[in-house]
Amino acid sequence: MLSLHNFKIIAQFSDEEQQQFVQFLHATYIHNNIKLIKIFSIIHKAVLTEQYEMEEIDFIKIFPDINKNKQHFYDATSQLYRMIEQFLILQDVEKDQFLQQQLLQKSFQQKQLDFTISSKNTNTSSEFYIHVYKQQLFRHHHILLEDSVDISSLENAFHHFDIYALIEKLRLACSVISAQNFDKQEADFSLLELLLQRITSEDLEKHALLAIYFYTYKMLQQPENETYFNQLQPLIYQHVRTFSKTEMREIILQANNFCIKRMNRGEEMYFRKSFELYKLGIEHKILLESGLLSRFTFTNVVTIALRLKEIDWTKSFIEINKKYVEEKFRESTYSFNKAKLWYTQKLYDKTIILLQQADYDDILLNLSAKTILLKIYVELNYIDTLEYHIQSMRKFITRKKIEPFYKNNFTNICKLTIKLMEYKVSKNKHKINETLKATIQQTNPCSEKIWLLEQIQ
């Protein structure tokens, strides 16, 4: 019996990668590469159907004497697995210019030859700085072997290592601050703050990636201060093609999180800022990770675009980009965002039918769908239906295990909607008006703050 669990990775190969791997096997100088290609084809079909055990007899056409000499067969499958590993390593090496340069540098160093960094490489990631650091150390070592002294190479190495370390510290600090939104433990950034005091405006002008992470960190540290977001935003547009997609995705999402917090406080101008950042990420395919678009990002984009009444753009976005959502979430994400679009177009009957038929396993998606129905019942003045719906929604929130932030958000929406309906039936609207407005504005978190205020007008 042959276990195929180690071969699960090939189920993730795209059609192009399958062809490239077969070509790779053809190009290798191993005597049985044709047999390996045939074994690969059989195993690939099996793992695609999640079949992880196969009998040796399934390979008898390739190994006619398999019953007499099983070891020959198992040696071939082991060799195939090693070739898959080599193929994956080479794929990564071909994509990583800095790694190629480091491997070349190591080879040159072993042969005691001087090595110069390729002029094609630019500081497109923090790895550039660590690469230059290593190159300068090598250069210094090479010169020492010739009984010379070269302080400049050491100074250069020292400088580039500092820049690399600062970028990585800032990157990590940004991740920690984002995590603190869900975990209230406070991180200690006192040492980092001391280091940041040494950064000059000249450093920020000279090293764009350092500037980007510096302003991102400051923006997250001081969410009440718009200055750092305003300094970061033009750098994102300026360097959208300069740095790796992974690097820029991280930055765009951090900047958008800042915008979303301001939007949740009712600051209208940040809807447009956020929308333009998302558009930038979509146009350059920066928001795709391993070829997939997060369902949360997909929904955020639709929510913000609809808020800005970008109806035609949203229609196009939903239809074109649904294929990038992970398959198991694709249909629910598509139907929910279609419902949001129809709600914005005031196609209430179609929206109600779609949402009532949908069965969303994701708790937050379920609550968001319930919120759309709540808004429709308010706007159509379906009082009895609304009362029953709010009771049902509150029970759902109480019964389910939900992160405190989201639990408070949806609870606040229910509470404020009840106050809104009391206001609508009140005969003394003028007296209640300002009090209710103040209550809505002061309630946090509340993702429907703007909609609630609009209902009072």
Judged against a pLDDT cut of 70, whether residue 48 lies above it is answered with: yes
Q: Please give the Cα distance from 244 to 250 (Å, whole number).
A: 10
Judged against a pLDDT cut of 50, whether residue 145 lies above it is answered with: no
Q: Which helix (H) or strand (E) holds 315?
A: helix 311-321
The residue ranking higher by pLDDT, 110 or 87, is 87
Summary mean pLDDT of the chain = 86
Please give the average per-residue pLDDT across 18-29, as a whole number. 81
Q: Are 80 and 36 in contact (CB under 8 A)?
A: yes
Structure-token pair, residue 457:
């007008």
Q: Which residues contact 346 (CB under 8 A, 6 or more apart)?
A: none
Q: From residue 437, give the alpha-carbon distance in Å to each of 176, 430, 453, 456.
A: 35, 11, 7, 8
Judged against a pLDDT cut of 90, whether residue 226 lies above it is answered with: yes
In 3D space, the residue among 48, 210, 429, 290 whose CA is nearest the CA of residue 455 turns out to be 429
Please give the average per-residue pLDDT across 199-215, as a whole number. 92
How much is the pLDDT for 134?
A: 65
Helix H, strand E, coil C: the string for 418-447 is HHHHHHHHCCCHHHHHHHHHHHHHHCCCCC
Q: Are 324 and 334 in contact (CB under 8 A)?
A: no
Q: Are 178 and 254 in contact (CB under 8 A)?
A: yes
Q: In which band, very low, low, confident or very high, does the pLDDT at 119 lie, cut at 50, 70 and 90?
A: very low
Judged against a pLDDT cut of 50, whether residue 147 lies above it is answered with: no
How much is the pLDDT for 312?
A: 97
Q: Please give the Cα distance from 157 to 71 (Å, whole number).
A: 52
The residue ranking higher by pLDDT, 116 or 85, is 85
Percent of the chain with pLDDT over 70: 88
| Digit-coded pLDDT (tens) for 279-302 | 999 999 999 988 899 999 999 999
Judged against a pLDDT cut of 70, whether residue 392 lies above it is answered with: yes
CB atoms within 10 A of CB 274: 26
Structure-token pair, residue 161:
């290592």
| Digit-coded pLDDT (tens) for 336-381 | 999 999 999 999 999 999 998 888 889 999 999 999 999 999 999 9
Judged against a pLDDT cut of 50, whether residue 388 lies above it is answered with: yes
CB atoms within 10 A of CB 250: 20
Structure-token pair, residue 168:
């990585």
Please give the average per-residue pLDDT across 219-225, as a whole number. 92
How much is the pLDDT for 158?
A: 76
The residue ranking higher by pLDDT, 286 or 3, is 286
Structure-token pair, residue 290:
């391993």
Per-domain boundaries in the chain: 2-99, 360-457
The residue ranking higher by pLDDT, 186 or 151, is 186
How much is the pLDDT for 116?
A: 63
The DSSP-derived string for 137-161 is HHHHHHHHHTT---HHHHHHHHHHH
Judged against a pLDDT cut of 70, whether residue 273 lies above it is answered with: yes
